[in-house]
């Protein structure tokens, strides 16, 4: 392969431009004005320049990755796994928990109120983990005692309705006595 050197001679030409606004801004300098002429610097077209451009194009057209045919199978790589360990662990945990059975509504309310004493906002996933109840049953109960936030900073979370917000253990007993 012959080595080519870069061309040292260049053609410098001025082109008349139709006037358009130009502005240049940096932290220290700002420049604004009208463009009247455009200058171009082009290399002189010669045999060396064409060789250089051809080499550049050939270099760029070479593929980055090449495929190779292997003579024997590679045994040092990882083999595909049908079921990964974290999937197996998740399935085992699901089987241990079993299906979520509905508990008495009052027990679920007690669990919810004690949870909402700790934090004001919960998403449904956290409440399902706390109460161990089916999502549909939990939502049914939450519609009675809670507000679902659709927008704002607490988007997609549940909070207690204002009448239940300052819930204390003694108040529930008082409510039971007045209902009986």
> What are the residue ranges spanned by the domains of the chain?
10-60, 105-179
CATH 2.60.40.60 given to domain 105-179: no
Cβ atoms < 10 Å from Cβ of 88: 10
The residues with which 138 forms a beta bridge, in sequence order, are none
Q: What percentage of the chain has pLDDT greater than the value 90? A: 29
pLDDT score, position 127 = 92
pLDDT in tens, 46-92: 888 889 899 999 999 998 888 888 888 877 777 677 888 888 888 88
pLDDT score, position 58 = 94
Position 33 pLDDT exceeds 60: yes
Q: Is the pTM of this model over 0.75?
A: no
Joined tokens for residue 103? 């508990």
pLDDT in tens, 157-178: 999 998 888 744 444 444 444 4
Could you give phi then psi for residue 39, rounded to 5 degrees?
Answer: -105, 140
Q: Which long-range contacts (CB under 8 A, 24 or more apart) does 25-29 make?
A: none
Q: What percentage of the chain has pLDDT greater than the value 70? A: 87
* Interval 30-56 mean pLDDT: 87
Q: Angle formed by the axes of helices 124-131 and 135-145, to 10°?
A: 110
């Amino acid at each position: 392969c012959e080595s080519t050197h870069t061309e040292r001679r260049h053609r410098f030409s001025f082109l008349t431009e139709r006037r358009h606004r130009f502005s240049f801004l940096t932290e220290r300098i700002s420049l604004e004005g009208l463009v009247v002429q455009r200058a171009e610097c082009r290399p002189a077209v010669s045999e060396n320049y064409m060789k250089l451009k051809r080499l550049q194009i050939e270099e760029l057209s070479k593929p980055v990755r090449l495929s190779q045919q292997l003579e024997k199978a590679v045994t040092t790589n990882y083999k595909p796994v049908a079921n990964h360990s974290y999937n197996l662990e998740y399935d085992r945990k699901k089987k241990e928990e079993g299906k979520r059975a509905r508990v008495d509504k009052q027990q679920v309310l007690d669990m919810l109120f004690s949870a909402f004493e700790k934090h004001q906002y919960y998403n449904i996933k956290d409440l399902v983990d706390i109460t161990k109840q089916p999502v549909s049953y939990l939502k049914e109960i939450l519609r009675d005692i809670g507000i679902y936030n659709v927008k704002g900073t607490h988007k997609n979370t549940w909070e207690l309705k204002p009448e239940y917000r300052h819930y204390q253990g003694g108040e529930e007993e008082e409510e039971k006595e007045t209902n009986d």
